[in-house]
Structure 1
Amino acid sequence: MRFGANYTPGEGWFHHWLDFDLDAVRADLDSLAGLGLDHIRVFPLWPLFQPHRTLIRPRAVDQLVQLADAAAERGLDVAVDGLQGHLSSFDFLPAWTQTWHRRSLFTDPEVLAAQEEYLRTLAAALADRPAFLGMTVGNEINQFADGPHPDPDRITAAQATAWLERMLAACERGAPGRMHVHAEYDAAWYRDGHPFTPAQAARLGAATAVHSWVFNGTAQRHGPTGTATEQHAAYLIELSKAWAADPHRPVWLQEVGAPAPLIPEDRAARFMEATVANALDCPDLWGITWWCSHDVSRSLADFPELEYGLGLLANDRTVKPAGRAFAALAGQWRGRDHRPPPRTTALVVDAGGVEDASYRSVCAPGGAVFEAWARLAAQGVRPCLVLPELAADAEHVKARQIAEIRTPDEVG
């Protein structure tokens, strides 16, 4: 079981790439290693690394390698996100995709070729580093393909699949055999008609990455200590497995955090402990990567209020209560096998077809599947989720050790 953090530099946030200071990075990494973590997820800013379509800055790539080497020296493995893309409400897109050079991020041939080369270059630069885990194509880049983004590049689900397959192949060419994945925000699971789909998330790449944020209506509906809130991450892990063709496909809880004020600051550590415990009760979990490592400095303006206090550590690197709680959990699990018992009661997810999931909003907070799952969990049942098509597959049901299958209507 892996415990890590999404690395948000304590000095300068992700703008630290503009004034890269390896000593400051080392101090940040020392503070994370001191918590007993084993990996970090790192975010190059795409416009700074590839400011022109045919220019990938060698110095920027070298700085990324220096960061990865510094992490390895402290016992921290490194996963790298490529197309940033979108971070904490800010978009970071290179000028050659915008305004006078506006072209689709997902279908323009020249943009696709440039993205491929960028991802391949980053992966290749790290391919010989033993601590390099692999690439994530980009951080929640699906938000650029649909509303509520104010200026999306709209595409079809087939175009999203083609884009993902091409980008993942580029990562594989750069660093063969590593854990290359893609990661979407929960519109892929919850938003009807969204071009990035549950089937893509659960079937493309080396593992399924899920991002759990309870400000999506869960905490508003169920409160900070409600079962649905404290088990939202576990629900997404299990929901992803409903679409997985491989019954034991690994799932990476790649982002999860305690957003104030929906999770009050004095409850953040408790929320973390409950969230982690419930996630660890899910079979086939690869690891948990908390959002985030260090708080955002109050000297930086215009972030949504909830973004400032999500760190395990303050931006001066002092450990917060949530950091102490996460460190304790990492210590408890270090060296242990992750073998929770199977979840033998399955709830059927009829979301409108395996590929399209045309009415997947039944899985969202307030939807029939979501609320039935939460009701079962509150009763002490450990439910899993299964598509109707896979519920009829005897081998799949046997592989997951499902003994009972129920529908949302039966739950009530």
Structure 2
Amino acid sequence: MPDDALRFGANYTPARGWFHHWLDFDLDELRADLDSIAALGLDHVRVFPLWPVFQPNRTLIRPRAVEQLVALADAAAERGLDVNVDGLQGHLSSFDFLPAWTRTWHRRSIFTDPDVVAGQEEYLRTLAAALADRPNFLGMTVGNEINQFSGAPHPDPDRITPDQAARWLERMLAACEEGAPGRLHLHAEYDAAWYRDGHPFTAAQAARLGAATAVHSWVFNGTAQRHGRCGTATEHHAAYLIELSKAWAVDPHRPVWLQEVGAPAPLIPPAHAARFTEATVANALDCPDVWGVTWWCSHDVSRELADFPELEYGLGLMTNDRRTKPVGAAIARITEQWRGRAHRPAPRSTALAVDAGEDADGGAAGAPGRSVCAPGGAFFEAWAVLTAQGVRPAVVLAERAADPAHLAARGITEVLRVHDVT
């Protein structure tokens, strides 16, 4: 595959048993799932070991569980699928999965307790090392939106500071690199990192730590409620997050992975999901430096499983009996359209300057006022207005808006301010 080829994949949700499949691991079922994913023309899957299943005790990383993860990767390779592994699960589809040695009678911070952090390092290093010799192993993602454990609205958070969050991320990424040197190791947050004032995981961390920036685009965050299913802001939300992330990046061409994006009902009704998918992906691919798109998710959650939020049951590209849905057919058309084509969109020559405030050191890294970037915020709405007018706005930090070298490196020739947008 050419180095500049776009990657298209799915977040793998097993058709039988959801992520509880690790408790009843069935390689034949897994192979059938992977066959159905490969049939859509996808080239990779993102997979989710359950942390308490793989490391039920701080000093026990179950060898059999690790062997099963490697078996999954090998089955994927047989079908031409690469594999990214999320380590610390963590949080999935409204459920928390934390090992007993971090909760209740053994309660200690998953971000700052020395023993817990050392256990996490060994776990991530072990998973990465087990896959390091597999050519189809892309790399590790530290965990799935684990930032949600660090503050509100989580009901029982392990509160930390931005400095503590940065140190934790650096240690986790280093453990992944030690286990499998040179792979695409990264971390991934839900959008509080971009939108919530005071959140300890920051936009700068997301855009500067790890081998790529991951963005997770969910329009149930107020975007679709405010702008409707066909609104410019709704259909461009993924593109907006990609461009917003580039404002904080030091490398002007740092790769950005649209690692999660889906069509959540009822805000995106099932009859409209294919259109939303096509528009969202097309708009995202109009952004430079996109590594790839990984849809959430591969298969629906079975109605036999209880207590999921209603929207979680219907997010799959396929039903839980592996029939392709209209949204899956849309993704298959997109992958076929892009196969063998280089991704080289024109630079976004007009940028909108974002002022999310200065941190205590006088810079924008902490973004104490980043709520301006959230749906309903002045910056978010101005970016949407420009986009609706046919402008392709990039985003630049206000403190870099007069930096000729930075602007030139990104192909920006014009910088607008929020008050310029009418």
Letter in 2 for 1:54: T
**Aligned equivalent of 2:212:** 207
Letter in 2 for 1:206: A
Alignment match of 1:313 (pick from 300, 318, 339): 318
Correspondences of 1:293-332 after superposition (within 5 Å)? 293-332=298-337
Compute the RMSD of aligned alpha carbons.
Answer: 0.4
**Aligned equivalent of 2:31:** 26
Q: What is the CA–CA distance in structure 1 between the aligned matches of 2:63 and 2:176, rounded to whole Å?
A: 18
Letter in 2 for 1:84: Q
**Shift, 1:392, TM fit:** 2.2
**Aligned equivalent of 1:399:** 409
Alignment match of 2:339 (pick from 309, 329, 334): 334
Alignment match of 1:249 (pick from 251, 254, 259): 254
Q: What is the CA–CA distance in structure 2 between the aligned matches of 1:88 and 1:372, rounded to whole Å?
A: 31
Letter in 1 for 2:156: D
Give CA deviations for 1:210-253 in whole Å, capped at 9, x if unaligned. 00000000000000000000000000000000000110000000
Alignment match of 1:236 (pick from 237, 241, 244): 241
What is the TM-score of this pair, normalised by structure 1? 1.00
**Aligned equivalent of 1:2:** 7
Q: What is the CA–CA distance in structure 1 between the aligned matches of 2:418 and 2:331, rounded to whole Å?
A: 34
Q: What is the CA–CA distance in structure 2 between the aligned matches of 1:87 and 1:265, rounded to whole Å?
A: 22
What is the TM-score of this pair, normalised by structure 2? 0.97
User: Do structure 1's residue 146 and structure 2's residue 151 form an aligned pair?
Assistant: yes
Give CA deviations for 1:307-330 in whole Å, capped at 9, x if unaligned. 000000000000000000000100
Q: What is the CA–CA distance in structure 2 between the aligned matches of 1:393 and 1:68, rounded to whole Å?
A: 45
- Which is further off, 393-402 or 175-184? 393-402
Q: What is the CA–CA distance in structure 2 between the aligned matches of 1:352 and 1:161, rounded to whole Å?
A: 19
User: Do structure 1's residue 374 and structure 2's residue 379 form an aligned pair?
Assistant: no
User: Do structure 1's residue 385 and structure 2's residue 395 form an aligned pair?
Assistant: yes
Letter in 2 for 1:279: A
Counterpart secondary structure, 1:136: strand
| 8 A contact 2:236–2:283 mirrored in 1 | yes
Counterpart secondary structure, 1:211: strand
- Which is further off, 250-259 or 395-404? 395-404
**Aligned equivalent of 2:20:** 15
**Shift, 1:98, TM fit:** 0.2
**Shift, 1:335, TM fit:** 1.0
Count of residue correspondences: 412
**Shift, 1:390, TM fit:** 1.8
Q: What is the CA–CA distance in structure 1 between the aligned matches of 2:340 and 2:149, rounded to whole Å?
A: 40
**Aligned equivalent of 2:361:** none
Counterpart secondary structure, 1:137: strand
**Aligned equivalent of 1:108:** 113
Alignment match of 2:44 (pick from 39, 42, 47): 39
Counterpart secondary structure, 1:330: helix
Residue identity (%) = 80
Q: What is the CA–CA distance in structure 1 between the aligned matches of 2:254 and 2:197, rounded to whole Å?
A: 25
Counterpart secondary structure, 1:288: strand
User: Do structure 1's residue 187 and structure 2's residue 192 form an aligned pair?
Assistant: yes
Letter in 1 for 2:404: A
Letter in 2 for 1:207: A
Letter in 2 for 1:382: R
**Aligned equivalent of 1:267:** 272
**Shift, 1:393, TM fit:** 1.7
Structure 2's unaligned 5+ residue stretches are 1-5, 359-363
Give CA deviations for 1:248-296 in whole Å, capped at 9, x if unaligned. 0000000000000000110000000000000000000000000000000
**Aligned equivalent of 1:224:** 229
Counterpart secondary structure, 2:141: strand
Letter in 1 for 2:237: H
**Aligned equivalent of 1:65:** 70
Counterpart secondary structure, 1:192: coil
**Shift, 1:110, TM fit:** 0.1
Structure 1's unaligned 5+ residue stretches are none
Letter in 2 for 1:159: Q
